Amino acid sequence: MKKIDVTSAAFFYIVKELEDEFLNGYINNIQLVNYEENNILKFKIHKTKTKELIVTPQILFVTELIYPTNSECGGLIKFLKKKLYNQKIHEIKQDKNNRVVYFKLDIYYLIFEFFSNSNIILTDLEFNIITAKQKEEWKDRTVKKYEKYIFPQSKDIKNATEEQLLIETKDLDIKGTISYIVKEYNVSPAYIGEIKTKNEIISTIKKSYDILTPELELKANKNNSGYIILIKTGECKLNIIEFFKGISDNYSENIKQLDTKEETTKGNKQLSIRDSQLKTKENYLKIAHILEIEGQKIYEYMPIIDKLNTQITIAKDKKVPPAEIINKLNDYFSKNQKELRIKSIDSKARSYILEIKE
């Protein structure tokens, strides 16, 4: 599947939808989705009913599909499952205009970073890091255990007025204004497009956070190497619930392809196991046949074996050495029953080996 980038504005509306779905709900379970890259998590969250939240390195969305999970997971997932079970969700927020979403729970913050290599961080309510999926070091912040979690530095476009933005960019040309807003406010250039004037740029950006019925669209990026998810400000595309379904189907198709590969592998493995079982059964049948023949021989020679037991016991009581007993018995067999021979006698185990030649 091609790489997907999600704009900060799209996250703004995604978080609003997640608030409606999960605020005041409880985390019941966390699982690793059985996906090729092993980097998709499934959160089961119960509010009025249990729903599933899928978290990928690029996006998080609600799904009604049943994603297959990998039971053999440890490390971070096992740790989070233990810590977060039955934790109530008190807040779901986007940090400023960053691609960062966090859940405030009873005694933790669960933070998802959807930029760079992506990250999952668990902190206490003072933002002291308890654990993180991976250690990250930036010039102005470090993400690792025992450090204080610091949100990425940027200004919040939602709190800035159009007048304020015009003042901040009054000495800049169009290109400089775009560069300034993209850098300082973490705004995607995709929302600016072919706009020619400074006022239009600022007005359009501000309007993208003021949509009553937001719609999302998946659009190919410039070099066609992936997609970008952004708010659609023009013609109707998909509302967020429909968009979640589309994204869910997209990931699901890749998982189904992986399942098909795994089913083939499993099928081959099962054939191998079956062949092994058939060979084992064949060996057992051979052994059973041998034992059956040996059993018949023992039954046939039972009178002789009874007499042999008696003679060996008498000889042992008389302190006759085992080697002498073997010689005397084999001398007798050589004259009377040549198919029989005593191979050994174990005095401690009170046993002997009688060979019966065919």
* pLDDT exceeds cutoff 70 at 182: yes
* pLDDT exceeds cutoff 80 at 327: yes
Q: What is the mean pLDDT of residues 334-356?
A: 80
Q: What is the pLDDT of residue 126?
A: 97
**Cβ contact 114:61 at 8 Å:** no
Q: What is the pLDDT of residue 106?
A: 97
Q: What is the pLDDT of residue 143?
A: 96
Apex 280 CA angle, 279 and 281, nearest 5? 90
Q: Considering just the CA atoms, what is the radius of gyration of the chain in Å? A: 38
* pLDDT exceeds cutoff 50 at 98: yes
Tell me the DSSP string of 51-101: EEEEE-SS-EEEE-S---EES---HHHHHHHHHHTT-B--EEEE-TTSSEE
User: Token pair of 73, please?
Assistant: 């997971």
Q: What is the mean pLDDT of residues 200-227?
A: 77
- Other beta carbons within 10 angstroms of residue 343's beta carbon come to 10
Q: What is the mean pLDDT of residues 112-117?
A: 92
Cα distance from N-terminal residue to C-terminal residue, the chain: 70
Helix (H) or strand (E) holding 43: strand 41-46
Q: What is the mean pLDDT of residues 282-287?
A: 62
**Cβ contact 143:149 at 8 Å:** yes
Q: What is the mean pLDDT of residues 16-43?
A: 89
**Cβ contact 106:88 at 8 Å:** yes
130-170 tens-digit pLDDT? 999 999 998 889 999 999 999 998 899 999 999 999 999 99
- Domains of the chain are 3-257 (2.30.310.10), 301-356 (no CATH)
* pLDDT exceeds cutoff 70 at 299: no
User: Token pair of 26, please?
Assistant: 């409880």
Q: Which of 2, 59, 40 is nearest to 255 (CA)?
A: 40
* Higher local confidence (pLDDT), 230 or 46: 46
